[in-house]
Structure 1
Amino acid sequence: MTDTYAKLANGKWTSGLFKTLKLPQPVKLTRFSQGSDLISGRLLIGAATDSELIKPIIETFKDADLAIAYPHNTKELADLNEQFNHSALNATPISLAAISKADKFNGIIFDASGIKTSQQLSALHRFFQPVIKQLSACSRIIILGRPSEHLEEVSYATAQRSLEGFCRSLAKEIGKNGSTCQLMYVQAGSEPLLNAPLRFLTSAKSAYISAQVIKVKPGVLPETINLVKPLQGKTALVTGASRGIGAAIAETLARDGAHVICLDIPAFKQDLDNIAHRLKGSAIVADITAKDTPAKIADFVRGRSLDIIVHNAGVTKDKTLARMTNNHWDVLMDINLSAMERINHQLLDEDLLNQYGRIICVSSMSGIAGNFGQTNYATSKAAVIGYVDAMQKPLANKHITINAVAPGFIETKMTAAVPFIVREAGRRMNSLKQGGKPIDVAEAIAFFAQPQAAGVTGNTLRICGQSLLGA
């Protein structure tokens, strides 16, 4: 769907008028394309004094063009020189006092894990204030800390929890040039698992994700990692796969090497067969609410290797509560929530999802912020978030991760049918001042599906450009 406003706002002859009137001018976001570098441009890495995560950060980006701002009054420079052979690192030590207008960065990664008191929060200002204007368009900022619920010292927990407010506010300041800011809480013992989330959040694959908090926990990494085809040899089941976001999910998982089993209702059989054929995948024609569908899926995958389940199928049946019939409530709840529970129960009960499997559920911003006329839909999507949170512990015994995405305004045929004024409000009411694309949702799901994302479970990731509504 064409965003005419964005075209005019950035047009050769019209952009000046928009600027004069101080109207939003959304930057065209840089998105990942096949064959392009996952990490591009110069990255600046810094850390607060006595922080603990800078070493795995540098390990992740050791092949990138790095500028490293070392903490003051520490021996970290010498220590890191010992651990990382600087002849193999494309890294330049940099003084924040010497930053000039010529210095430009495509990403800034800051280790805040050493901030243990309210007084030490000044490290955030001291580091970011000199460099924030040096961000290129569509850049990334990632801040790393420790999860406050795992910290015994009150002052330490307090300081680390404050990072969320800093991250979300900074994201709103840099969103005008298409840049984003994320926060990663790294549980002790999960340092070796930082590679996948760091690379995803720094890349163009996370273009429409901003102001999000991802928690990384201990997990088991695969012996070998394929960065080009991370899902090579994996089999994924995607419900609602025939069109829109579901089709984008199927395409992206196939791009990353997975064999995709596409599932949708009989009414969409032609579209379903087309996409399954194009992706060299498989198709299951079924209504997920039918009583025999979980068994039908189980029979289909039995004897195969099922590694990934993506619960994308869902509907809206909008009415104000006073006008909502039993059917509006019951049918929607069955499609959006109960069917997912039944399918998972069948596959898990029969041990048909492999060890180290991945379950990804599609929630919605409506499940976080609520929405007028959507008490049924918001209830179902909030329940999905609750389900993900509750299931992470019982699934951990088999090293299966479960996460959710919560899309905001995504440009689809459904949003194209929304009245013009409502559609424009949906597009502009976020820090990036534009709607997302189905590929933005698909890229996040593909990240969760990766074997190397073993430390990421129980998360709900908003794909909304930092919507001004919701948490």
Structure 2
Amino acid sequence: MASDRYIDFANSDIGRRLVGAVGLPAPARLERWQAGRLRPVEGALLLGGGPLAEQVSGFAPRMTDLLFSFGAEVSGAHPWTSEGSKIKAVVFDASTLLQTAQLSQLRTFFQPVLRSLEHSAHIVILARAPDTLSDPLAASTQQALEGFSRSLAKEMRNGGTVQLLQVEEGAEDQLEGALRFFLSPKSAFISGQVIRLSACVAKVQDWSRPLAGRKALVTGAARGIGAAIAETLARDGAEIVLLDVPQARSDLEALAARLGGQALVLDICAPDAAAQLIEHIPGGLDIVVHNAGITRDKTLANMTADFWDSVLNVNLNAPQVLTQALIDSGVLHDNGSVILMASISGLAGNRGQTNYTTSKAGLIGLARAMAPSLKERGISINAVAPGFIETSMTAHMPFALREAGRRMSSLGQGGLPQDVAEAVAWLSQAGTGSVSGQVLRVCGQSVIGA
């Protein structure tokens, strides 16, 4: 894949001076999760706001060695002042802001904090889902937090991110899993997102191997993002079944051997694909990742029927058919996870990709439509929507288009396959059954589809 030479230049001694003098964007090198790391937050964690901050303090010692509070007393936390320690991660509970006048607490809390953030700092704002509140003014105030969080994300510097977590009543015990992800480098290329947490019985038992005891199927796994997903799921303890087309057999089998997984060569569009898949997975599955996908780009005026049909069959019809078959047959276990690989172009559209964007929007619709019926079995189904990701495919894009794709986000750069894989791994955890029917954008807060 092509390296981002502009980031290399902007972060050099000469580049920093020149970029600053001319006023050019200066994207930071993002901090990402490294093997051997033990804690989600390496640095100070700051808590503030309402009573959910107190709940976070109960598990905060498992996430960081240094805990502070600001604006409210929190158990086990040291008081923080603007002259104190630099802050690596922030959790602010805004769930009790129910009137317009109370929104001033956002400015009071965040203004001094923003001046004290470390590189690649992560902020999470906690809220309630507006549609769960009976008081229109309270709902309006909680909805206002979405505009605040998305705008604050665009003001962050040095690789910082901001997310809004809407916590339903009864879902408070799912906060640890969500914060372990969103306050850590695992979410380095995710910002400006709104995620809703619902009540969920299942919980992760071992945070060092959160997928231990779970078996995962990854389609399109031989290379690129699919291979990164397989590697990350295996890292987190999952048993892996890697699936790809016959043309990718050698790469697929080599990766399976390295990860101690099972290689399955299969055309997912074959009429008997579902039957073959079920036959080759004795013991069933806990995680299904529909990553396989193709592009056949042309403007609609010039698009052949083959270009249209092949993309819709691989990207949309096959995931629909296989998911339903795995559910109906019971191969997908209760409390399982289905992750559909969508795209921000499925939200925003893209010239010359009517077939591709139709397929990706369809996957988002599938996640939203199936989530309620799967809830009884504790099965979650979500879509991950990557933005510009540095892969061999994007490396062959024309220079101008590649640069535009990299810079058109709040983080000012492309993501890595690892960024997508980390999101998939989080959505594969038992406890993230609290997140279902949703779209998680891994796009650095791209301006596309915002």
* 1:269-297 deviations in Å (ceiling 9; x for gaps): 10111101110000110111111111111
2:148 and 2:14 map into 1 onto residues whose CA distance is 37
Structure 1 residue aligned with 2:228, among 248, 258, 263?
248
* 1:193-231 deviations in Å (ceiling 9; x for gaps): 111011100001000000011100011123x61111111
Q: Which residue does the alignment assign to 1:30?
A: 31
1:166 matched to 2:148: yes
Q: Which residue does the alignment assign to 2:214?
A: 234
When the two structures are aligned, how many residues end up with a matched partner?
446
The DSSP-based 3-state class of the residue aligned with 2:432 is: coil
1:458 and 1:233 map into 2 onto residues whose CA distance is 24
Structure 1 residue aligned with 2:278, among 298, 317, 323?
298
Q: Which residue does the alignment assign to 2:9?
A: 8
Q: TM-score, normalised by structure 1?
A: 0.93
The DSSP-based 3-state class of the residue aligned with 1:454 is: helix
1:454 and 1:362 map into 2 onto residues whose CA distance is 17
1:153 and 1:318 map into 2 onto residues whose CA distance is 48
Q: Which residue does the alignment assign to 1:74?
A: none
| Aligned pairs for 1:434-445 within 5 A | 434-445=413-424
Q: Which residue does the alignment assign to 1:380?
A: 359
2:388 and 2:129 map into 1 onto residues whose CA distance is 29
Q: Which residue does the alignment assign to 1:84?
A: none
Out of 248-257 and 224-233, give the one that drifted further: 224-233
Contact 1:107 1:140 (8 Å CA) reproduced = yes
Q: In the alignment, residue 229 of structure 2 is paired with which amino acid?
A: I
The DSSP-based 3-state class of the residue aligned with 1:18 is: helix
1:93 matched to 2:79: yes
1:42 matched to 2:40: no
Structure 2 residue aligned with 1:197, among 155, 164, 178?
178
Q: Which residue does the alignment assign to 1:421?
A: 400
The DSSP-based 3-state class of the residue aligned with 1:177 is: coil
Contact 1:60 1:198 (8 Å CA) reproduced = no
1:316 matched to 2:315: no
User: How far does residue 369 in structure 1 lie from its aligned partner after superposition?
Assistant: 1.2
Contact 2:217 2:240 (8 Å CA) reproduced = yes
The DSSP-based 3-state class of the residue aligned with 1:233 is: coil
User: How far does residue 403 in structure 1 lie from its aligned partner after superposition?
Assistant: 1.1
Q: Which residue does the alignment assign to 2:250?
A: 270
2:55 and 2:306 map into 1 onto residues whose CA distance is 52
Q: Which residue does the alignment assign to 1:183?
A: 164
Q: Which residue does the alignment assign to 2:305?
A: 326
Q: In the alignment, residue 252 of structure 1 is paired with which amino acid?
A: T
1:392 matched to 2:392: no
The DSSP-based 3-state class of the residue aligned with 1:436 is: coil
Structure 1 residue aligned with 2:85, among 87, 91, 103?
103
| Aligned pairs for 1:319-468 within 5 A | 319-468=298-447
The DSSP-based 3-state class of the residue aligned with 1:214 is: strand
Structure 2 residue aligned with 1:140, among 119, 122, 125?
122
1:54 matched to 2:33: no
Q: Which residue does the alignment assign to 1:150?
A: 132
Q: Which residue does the alignment assign to 1:69?
A: 70
Contact 2:53 2:91 (8 Å CA) reproduced = no
User: How far does residue 386 in structure 1 lie from its aligned partner after superposition?
Assistant: 0.9
1:250 and 1:131 map into 2 onto residues whose CA distance is 38
1:372 and 1:454 map into 2 onto residues whose CA distance is 35
Unaligned runs of 5+ in 1: 72-76, 82-88
1:425 and 1:135 map into 2 onto residues whose CA distance is 28
Contact 2:44 2:85 (8 Å CA) reproduced = no
User: How far does residue 15 in structure 1 lie from its aligned partner after superposition?
Assistant: 2.5
Q: Which residue does the alignment assign to 1:86?
A: none
1:420 and 1:433 map into 2 onto residues whose CA distance is 16
User: How far does residue 53 in structure 1 lie from its aligned partner after superposition?
Assistant: 1.7
The DSSP-based 3-state class of the residue aligned with 1:355 is: strand
* 1:228-287 deviations in Å (ceiling 9; x for gaps): 111112110000000000000000000111111000000111011110111000011011
Q: In the alignment, residue 168 of structure 1 is paired with which amino acid?
A: R
Contact 1:225 1:452 (8 Å CA) reproduced = no
1:129 matched to 2:111: yes
How many percent identity over aligned positions?
A: 47
1:123 and 1:208 map into 2 onto residues whose CA distance is 28
Q: In the alignment, residue 235 of structure 2 is paired with which amino acid?
A: R
Q: In the alignment, residue 144 of structure 2 is paired with which amino acid?
A: S
Contact 1:208 1:465 (8 Å CA) reproduced = yes
The DSSP-based 3-state class of the residue aligned with 2:48 is: strand
The DSSP-based 3-state class of the residue aligned with 1:62 is: helix
* 1:424-471 deviations in Å (ceiling 9; x for gaps): 000011111110000000000000001122311122110000101112
1:219 matched to 2:200: yes
The DSSP-based 3-state class of the residue aligned with 1:402 is: strand
Contact 2:338 2:380 (8 Å CA) reproduced = yes
User: How far does residue 374 in structure 1 lie from its aligned partner after superposition?
Assistant: 1.1
2:238 and 2:187 map into 1 onto residues whose CA distance is 20
1:358 and 1:59 map into 2 onto residues whose CA distance is 28
Q: Which 4+ residue blocks in structure 1 deviate beyond 6 angstroms?
A: none
User: How far does residue 402 in structure 1 lie from its aligned partner after superposition?
Assistant: 0.9
